Amino acid sequence: MNRGPGPHLWIDRVVKRYGSFTALDGVSLTASRGELLTLLGPSGCGKTTLLRIIAGFLQPDAGQVSLAGRGLNGVPPNARNLGMVFQNYAIFPHLSVAENVAYGLRARGIASSEIVRRVAEALARVRLAQFADRFPDALSGGQKQRVGLARAMVIEPELLLLDEPLSNLDAKLRIEMRQEIRLMQRELGITTVYVTHDQEEALAISDRIAVMDRGRILQVGTPREIYEQPTHAFVADFIGGCNWFEGTVSNGELRLAAGPRLACSAAPQTARLALRWEDLRPARETDPPQSCLAARVAMVSYLGHRVRLHLRACQDDTEIHADLPSHGELHMEGTTALFAFDPQRARVFASDGTRLL
């Protein structure tokens, strides 16, 4: 097995067309050994297409996928040593839990005493030891997905591919299972490509995230980089809650229609400023007036761990959200108040979506 330098998984300028529709438009990506890389993007952006190309179920029209230094074009899926888990379980209904997990080991001709040992170990890891003899019909959705995980990991694959594995589970179980997947993946050190359209899941689980839109990768970075330093308006908007303010750059300054101004050395143009919902707060005496804006409180939503204010800027009626600590000062619907932000927290984008500031 290649353990040398260089990326473990290397995706180089992959193009995939369905008829005249371009589903992947020159995608390049790498993952290092043991990394959990997430493909994040809206439905239809090409995540599953890319995963199926990595798995070998689809052939790219151009480009190359390599694993551990070996080009995979033309290598059939069963010769790629991959573990896979999909949204819809895809476990065999006529086999017991233990037989499902043993399946891949039998197919590889492993001795039965070793199969017994490895299946028991895999089932213990996903906390299904006591369900070994059950059939899939008698399992919950979460348990079925654990069988899928055990079956994928038991073969000690070179690469693990997970396509929205938690989408069919309820919210609480999704959070539990994503932690389990992450712990297991780390413990075993398996290079993993994880597909989701759920931004919070991506932030919680990933070493790095590749944000996709319409067959292209817009940004690759750690969860913190993606959230705090989005390089594209689409990335800022897709991840977390953002307020958008329209404005104009001229004479070294961005002036927002909603009132505030900030220094911006870009060429004169229209621009948009993005500000996270949690980055707007009630103004203090010491806040400079150019970082403040007056807004009417249209609605107050109490969310337990915070309060969400639905605001309208007095100056131009821009719709704004502010997430405040729920133990802070009270805001009454129908009143007007002054809000402020730290210019360091603002991100400015050109009209084509690229970052200006």
Ligand X SMILES: Nc1ncnc2c1ncn2[C@@H]1O[C@H](COP(=O)(O)OP(=O)(O)O)[C@@H](O)[C@H]1O
- The residue among 48 and 219 lying less far from Mg ion, judged by its C-beta, is 48
- The residue among 213 and 323 lying less far from ligand X, judged by its C-beta, is 213
DSSP secondary structure string for all residues of 194-245? EEES-HHHHHHH-SEEEEEETTEEEEEE-HHHHHHS-SBHHHHHHSS-EEEE
Question: Which residue's beta carbon is nearest to the bound Mg ion?
Answer: 48
Establish how many alpha carbons lie within 13 A of residue 289's alpha carbon, considering only the half-sphere containing its beta carbon: 0
Structure tokens at 130: 């006591």
The answer to whether residue 6 forms part of the interface with ligand X (CB under 6 A) is no
Q: Tokens 């006529």 appear where?
A: 94
- The residue among 199 and 318 lying less far from ligand X, judged by its C-beta, is 199
Q: Choosing among ligand X, Mg ion, none, which partner's interface includes residue 44 (Cβ < 5 to 8 Å by kind)?
A: ligand X
Smallest distance, ligand X to C-beta of residue 66, A: 21
The answer to whether residue 18 forms part of the interface with ligand X (CB under 6 A) is yes
- The residue among 48 and 199 lying less far from Mg ion, judged by its C-beta, is 48
Q: Give the total of residues touching Mg ion (CB under 5 A).
A: 1
Give the span between the Cα atoms of 301 and 283, in whole angstroms.
Answer: 20
The answer to whether residue 48 forms part of the interface with Mg ion (CB under 5 A) is yes
Smallest distance, Mg ion to C-beta of residue 48, A: 3
The answer to whether the beta carbons of residues 251 and 263 sit under 8 Å apart is no
Q: Choosing among ligand X, Mg ion, none, which partner's interface includes residue 45 (Cβ < 5 to 8 Å by kind)?
A: ligand X
- The residue among 58 and 311 lying less far from ligand X, judged by its C-beta, is 58
- The residue among 51 and 153 lying less far from Mg ion, judged by its C-beta, is 51
The answer to whether residue 328 forms part of the interface with ligand X (CB under 6 A) is no
Smallest distance, Mg ion to C-beta of residue 250, A: 44
Give the span between the Cα atoms of 47 and 274, in whole angstroms.
Answer: 26
Give the span between the Cα atoms of 333 and 84, in whole angstroms.
Answer: 50
Amino acid identity, residue 97? V
Query: Long-range contacts of range 219-222, CB-CB < 8 Å, 24 or more positions apart?
Result: 220/29
Look at residues 195, 277, 267 and name the one whose alpha carbon lies nearest to residue 236. Answer: 277
Q: Choosing among ligand X, Mg ion, none, which partner's interface includes residue 23 (Cβ < 5 to 8 Å by kind)?
A: ligand X
Of 9, 11, 14, 23, the one binding ligand X by CB under 6 A = 23
- The residue among 18 and 263 lying less far from ligand X, judged by its C-beta, is 18
Total residue count of the chain as it appears in this document: 357
Give the span between the Cα atoms of 63 and 80, in whole angstroms.
Answer: 18
Smallest distance, Mg ion to C-beta of residue 58, A: 13
How far is it between the farthest Cα atoms of the chain?
77
Q: Choosing among ligand X, Mg ion, none, which partner's interface includes residue 57 (Cβ < 5 to 8 Å by kind)?
A: none
Segment 35 to 64, residues that bind ligand X, using CB under 6 A: 41, 43-49
Q: Choosing among Mg ion, ligand X, none, which partner's interface includes residue 46 (Cβ < 5 to 8 Å by kind)?
A: ligand X
The answer to whether residue 125 forms part of the interface with ligand X (CB under 6 A) is no
Give the span between the Cα atoms of 146 and 125, in whole angstroms.
Answer: 9
Pairing of strands 191-196, 159-163: parallel
Q: Residues in the site for Mg ion, rule: CB under 5 A?
A: 48
Q: Residues in the site for ligand X, rule: CB under 6 A?
A: 18, 21, 23, 41, 43-49
